[in-house]
């Protein structure tokens, strides 16, 4: 059974003929489209290493059937930087030492980009940790990851509304 | 993964016809289906992808104040729908306590209801499992079973239903709308998931090919919005299934409880409504002893199915505690850690300090 799907990946159109519907979005990216930046950790939705954006939303590409993604816009870690200029989340990860071995990092960064777009964490480290809990880091770089996500989130908020000096702090009364 | 045919029908009529053929299964977000197919615990011959079916992805408010949630609404979209979360806060809290942000973005309402048990032996085709393969036995009974059922189980199966979402839904009396080529019908959510009896392979009331099209919450369910909480005990703070969980909702009039709703998760093969515990609270003034008694009543018929006697006491305490939280009132803003006993509480000192 052969199936043709078309995907826009990092702004480029791909028409792919799938000779087997079993292929996941993760395997398609890594094995067929030469985009190995997205990592395979558990392959079962339990680690977040495979996080990509589908139509702007973060999901686990290991639990997405490629065939079911037909027509979607996909963003992977390879699509974030503009030429030599890093995406602000990538820059924040370097700035805050948010990784050690780096295996979880593409997934962490894609997840953080999704989190900032969702706009639910504000400037609250507890909310950032909770909403990043779908990304496991075996090296335990969580402290740096949280700081990087907070900083990138702050910058995104400033850029979105440069005139107000009053972003939602998102803090609970404690 | 076993090879399968993939079809993506454009209409509901086509989908239910395809799904009625033996060997078919629906694919929605895929977060449970694909997982089970990878490990060999599910092996459909034909996957019917329902993600493009029209008209199933809306949250519709009904003229009487109830709400109809389309089966393809994603878990995160429902939880972050401002009007929905304000009307049914414990449903939003339960959704946000489940899985991870990525999984909630993919998971659908219908898929969440229909997710299969997390029993390790169910997921391992090399193990005996009556639920996966009728009559093969149950390796959980002498195996790793501390997470298993304490209510409503039989020797044939001791598994639990893992959904968080279903727990407040059963407390609020939700109805599940289903459709097949034979027509439409409505199933009270309390009757959707079946207790194992001697047929644990029959997991739900759905007939072959039936599609969940939506879930309805009755208008009266919003009357609990001021006092409604979900509490979920996990082995880590986030991204873990419930050991036990509970939803509680109260209506307080003139200092007395006019109506109470209580349901438990992680204790049985279905979300467990505790109707007698609810009745014990009606008409009385809320108090700690009354809440503790409700916890006792809710677990009165519980017994261990293995190395899990601890869950009974935990469940009693979680009922008492979620009632206490509900009485304090629904927080104005969703807690930073939804459903967590460790979440900071408004006007109290924080539940826990992280470094
Ligand atoms: C790592 C991990 C952690 C998780 N943690 C939690 C948790 O803490 N709490 C929790 O509640 N859940 C948790 N989940 C489960 C998750 O909520 C479910 O996988 C998800 O809700 C399933 O939805 P889906 O749309 O992806 O369904 P699918 O995987 O597409 O389908 C699941 C099942 O439902 C059937 N189905 C789907 N839609 C319909 C329909 N409309 N009508 C009839 N049948 C249908 C499918 O045939 C299949 O059998 C977790 C999952 C993972 C992988
Ligand atoms: S508890 Fe139920 S699901 Fe688990 S092995 Fe036994 S029969 Fe199978
Ligand atoms: S590889 Fe997808 S979540 Fe681990
Ligand atoms: S940096 Fe090594 S796993 Fe996260």
CATH classification at residue A24: 3.10.20.30
Burial of B4 (0-12, 13-18, 19+ CB in 10 A): buried
From B111's Cα to the closest Cα of chain A, the distance in A is 13
The arithmetic mean of pLDDT across residues B142-164, rounded, is 98
In a domain, B28, yes or no: no
Tally Cβ neighbours within 10 Å of residue B11: 12
From B27, B239, B333, residue closest to A65, measured CB to CB: B27
Tally Cβ neighbours within 10 Å of residue A31: 12
Question: In whole angstroms, what is the distance from residue B157 CA to residue A92 CA?
Answer: 50
- Residue B344: which pLDDT band, with cuts at 50, 70 and 90? confident
In a domain, A168, yes or no: no
Is there a single domain that holds both residue A69 and residue A94? no
Question: In whole angstroms, what is the distance from residue B282 CA to residue A42 CA?
Answer: 48
In a domain, B273, yes or no: yes
Is there a single domain that holds both residue A40 and residue A100? no
Measured from CB, residues less than 6 Å from any atom of ligand 3 are A 40-43, 45-50, 60, 62
DSSP states of A76-112: -GGGTSBTTBPPHHHHHHHHTT--SS-TTHHHHHHHH
Domains contained in chain A, number: 2
**Of B296, B231, B118, B104, whose CA–CA distance to A63 is shortest?**
B104
Residue A100 Cβ contacting ligand 4 at under 6 Å: yes
Q: What is the pLDDT of residue A161?
A: 72
Whole-number Å distance, alpha carbon A100 to ligand 1 midpoint, is 33
Give yes or no for residue B65 having a pLDDT over 70.
Answer: yes
In a domain, B34, yes or no: no
In a domain, B5, yes or no: no
**Of B210, B233, B236, B208, whose CA–CA distance to B316 is shortest?**
B233
Q: What is the pLDDT of residue A164?
A: 47
Give yes or no for residue B321 having a pLDDT over 70.
Answer: yes
| Mean pLDDT score of chain B | 96
In a domain, A170, yes or no: no
From B76, B99, B350, residue closest to A174, measured CB to CB: B350
Residues of B within 8 A of A172 (CB-CB) are: 333, 335-336, 344, 346, 350
| Mean pLDDT by groups of 10 residues along chain A of 174 residues | 91 96 98 98 98 98 98 98 97 98 98 98 97 98 98 95 49 36
In a domain, A173, yes or no: no
Partnered with residue B216 across adjacent β-strands are B68, B175
Counting from 1 in the atom list of ligand 3, the atom nearest the Cα of A134 is 3
Closest listed ligand to the CA of A41: 3
In a domain, B230, yes or no: yes
Domains contained in chain B, number: 1
Question: In whole angstroms, what is the distance from residue B145 CA to residue B154 CA?
Answer: 14
Is there a single domain that holds both residue A17 and residue A40? yes
Q: Count of CB contacts below 8 A, A vs B?
A: 111
Two tokens, residue B72: 């393809």
Question: In whole angstroms, what is the distance from residue A60 CA to residue B113 CA?
Answer: 20
Q: Do A67 and B5 touch (CB under 8 A)?
A: no
Q: What is the CATH number of the domain that holds B232?
A: 3.30.390.50
Question: Which range marks the domain in which residue B303 is found?
Answer: 225-328
Question: Which range marks the domain in which residue A98 is found?
Answer: 88-160
Is there a single domain that holds both residue A92 and residue A61? no
How much is the CA Rg of chain A, to the nearest whole Å?
17
From A12's Cα to the closest Cα of chain B, the distance in A is 23
Q: Would you put residue B163 in left (φ > 0), alpha (ψ -120 to 50) or beta?
A: beta
Partnered with residue B233 across adjacent β-strands are B244
Residue B103 Cβ contacting ligand 1 at under 6 Å: yes
In a domain, B277, yes or no: yes
In a domain, B56, yes or no: no
Q: Sheet with B24-27: list strands edge to edge.
A: B5-7, B46-49, B24-27
Burial of B164 (0-12, 13-18, 19+ CB in 10 A): buried
This complex has an ipTM of: 0.95
Whole-number Å distance, alpha carbon B142 to ligand 1 midpoint, is 27
| CB environment B36-48: b (16+ within 10 A), e (fewer) | bbbeebbebebbb
In a domain, A7, yes or no: yes
From B2's Cα to the closest Cα of chain A, the distance in A is 8
* Chain B residue with minimum CA distance to A21: B6
Residue A35 Cβ contacting ligand 4 at under 6 Å: no
Q: What is the pLDDT of residue B346?
A: 59
Give yes or no for residue B81 having a pLDDT over 90.
Answer: yes
Residue for token pair 């306590």: B97
Question: In whole angstroms, what is the distance from residue B51 CA to residue B209 CA?
Answer: 16
Partnered with residue B108 across adjacent β-strands are B74
Q: What is the pLDDT of residue B352?
A: 52
pLDDT digits (tens, 9 = 90+) for B207-233: 999 999 999 999 999 999 999 999 999
Residue with the smallest CA separation from ligand 1 atom 16 is B112
Question: In whole angstroms, what is the distance from residue A20 CA to residue A34 CA?
Answer: 18
Question: In whole angstroms, what is the distance from residue B79 CA to residue B155 CA?
Answer: 37
pTM of the model: 0.96
Two tokens, residue B141: 């009974």
Is there a single domain that holds both residue A71 and residue A99? no
Give yes or no for residue B180 having a pLDDT over 90.
Answer: yes
Is there a single domain that holds both residue A17 and residue A53? yes
Q: What is the pLDDT of residue B353?
A: 45
Q: What is the pLDDT of residue B345?
A: 65
pLDDT digits (tens, 9 = 90+) for B290-314: 999 999 999 999 999 999 999 999 9
Which of B101, B238, B344 is the best residue to mutate to test the A interface, defined by the most A CB atoms within 10 Å of its own CB?
B101
Closest listed ligand to the CA of B201: 2
- Residue B347: which pLDDT band, with cuts at 50, 70 and 90? low
Q: What is the pLDDT of residue A163?
A: 53
């Amino acid at each position: 059974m052969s199936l043709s799907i078309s995907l826009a990946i990092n702004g480029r159109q791909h028409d792919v003929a799938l000779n087997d519907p079993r292929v996941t979005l993760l395997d398609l990216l890594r094995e067929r489209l030469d985009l190995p930046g997205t990592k395979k950790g558990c392959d079962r939705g339990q680690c977040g290493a495979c996080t990509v954006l589908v139509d702007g939303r973060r999901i686990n590409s290991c639990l997405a059937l490629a065939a079911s993604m037909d027509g979607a816009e996909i963003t992977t870690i390879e699509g974030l930087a503009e030429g030599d200029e890093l995406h602000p989340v990538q820059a924040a990860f370097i700035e805050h030492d948010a990784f050690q071995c780096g295996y979880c990092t593409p997934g962490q960064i894609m997840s953080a980009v999704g989190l900032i777009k969702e706009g639910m964490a504000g400037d609250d480290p507890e909310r950032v940790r909770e909403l990043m809990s779908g990304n496991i880091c075996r090296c335990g770089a969580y402290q740096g990851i949280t700081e990087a996500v907070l900083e990138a989130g702050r910058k995104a908020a400033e850029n979105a509304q440069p005139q107000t000096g009053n972003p939602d702090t998102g803090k609970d009364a404690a | 993964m076993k090879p399968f045919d993939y079809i993506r029908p454009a209409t509901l009529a086509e989908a239910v016809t395809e799904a009625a053929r033996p060997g078919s299964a629906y694919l929605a977000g895929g977060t449970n289906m694909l997982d089970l197919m990878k490990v060999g615990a599910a092996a459909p011959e034909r996957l019917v992808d329902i993600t493009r079916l029209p008209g199933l992805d809306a949250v519709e408010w009904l003229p009487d104040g109830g709400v109809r949630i389309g089966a393809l609404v994603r878990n995160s979209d429902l939880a972050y729908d401002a009007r929905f979360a304000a009307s049914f806060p414990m449903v939003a809290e339960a959704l946000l306590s489940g899985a991870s942000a990525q999984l909630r973005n993919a998971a659908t309402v219908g898929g969440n209801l229909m997710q299969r048990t997390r029993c390790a032996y169910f997921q391992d085709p090399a193990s005996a499992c009556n639920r996966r393969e009728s009559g093969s036995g149950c390796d959980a009974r002498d195996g790793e079973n501390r997470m298993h059922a304490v209510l409503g189980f039989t020797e044939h199966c001791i598994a639990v239903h893992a959904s968080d979402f279903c727990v407040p839904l059963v407390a609020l009396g939700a109805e599940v709308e289903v459709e097949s080529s034979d027509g439409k019908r409505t199933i009270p959510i309390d009757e959707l998931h079946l207790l194992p009896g001697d047929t644990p392979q029959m997991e739900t009331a759905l007939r072959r090919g039936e599609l969940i099209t939506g879930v309805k919450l009755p208008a009266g369910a919003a009357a609990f919005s001021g006092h409604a909480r979900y509490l979920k005990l996990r082995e880590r703070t986030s991204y873990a299934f419930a050991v036990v969980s509970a939803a509680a909702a109260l209506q307080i009039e003139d200092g007395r409880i006019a109506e109470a709703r209580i349901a438990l998760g992680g204790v049985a093969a279905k979300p467990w409504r505790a109707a007698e515990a609810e009745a014990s609270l009606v008409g009385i003034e809320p108090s700690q002893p009354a809440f503790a008694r409700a916890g006792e009543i809710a677990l009165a018929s519980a017994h261990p199915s293995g190395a899990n006697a601890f869950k009974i006491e935990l469940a009693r305490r979680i009922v008492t505690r979620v009632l206490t939280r509900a009485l304090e009132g629904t927080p104005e803003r969703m807690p930073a850690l939804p459903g967590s006993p460790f979440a900071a509480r408004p006007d109290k000192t924080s539940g826990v300090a992280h470094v």
